[in-house]
Structure 1
Amino acid sequence: MFNRLLAVSGIAGAVLTATVVGLAPQASARPFPAGVSCSATSCRNDTDDTYLIEAWQHCRIIGTAIETETPFNVVVRPHETVEVKGVNCPPHVTTEPSTLGNDFPKRTTQRPTEPTRIGYSDAVIYDPNAPKVRTGSAS
């Protein structure tokens, strides 16, 4: 009886898992325009236009599995291959309240990070004369 109950609950769990996974949205990468491609450390442009590639430097906090992302852009001129070096990984900074109360300084901790990979998310025709988008941050 116990083995049958265990088998039935295992099957029910598998069906429930398959249903939940089936309902989860699928990740979809935006395809690059024809003639533009990026690999781990290079981008190639076989078109007659200049492209701006949106990229992300993935950085891991050393000694953990926690990753952060730092955005950057790569400009690739017509019929050019560019070596992509990424950007420096900034330290991971955390600030904790003082254990002595609000009148005392907060404790700030910086942990070093290391690059793990570069991801690419979009490629658009680059127009250096296009108006800049305001980010809301002070210049």
Structure 2
Amino acid sequence: MKTFAAYVIIACLSSTALAGSITENTSWNKEFSAEAVNGVFVLCKSSSKSCATNDLARASKEYLPASTFKIPNAIIGLETGVIKNEHQVFKWDGKPRAMKQWERDLTLRGAIQVSAVPVFQQIAREVGEVRMQKYL
């Protein structure tokens, strides 16, 4: 079975703001089984300080966000004006890249489609650490 980390985290489980109950709903596992992947889904409701997950063991482990971070990275880029709009072109610098699909100019849509790490690194650098932390 392929390993796939599927995260939808509304709030961090370790947050003191959500230090209430955490319940397990294993019926949610059918969605992962249907796709032949391992994954975890965590849903937190801040008003009741409660969370639910399909897998308590996986939910209690830390995982790198990897490509899922491209979503907030893009949103923060748009919010801060680093990305003007979805049609903005990110110019390829001509350097060889790990993936051939990255060796061209890309719009935001194109960068998301090919998971272009160099584009999202550029966005993060332009947003800057201080502003990025403010949004996170």
> Which bracket does the TM-score occupy, shorter chain normalised?
under 0.3
Which one has a larger percent helix, Structure 1 or Structure 2? Answer: 2
TM value normalised by structure 2: 0.20
Higher relative contact order (CA 8 A, sep 6+): 1
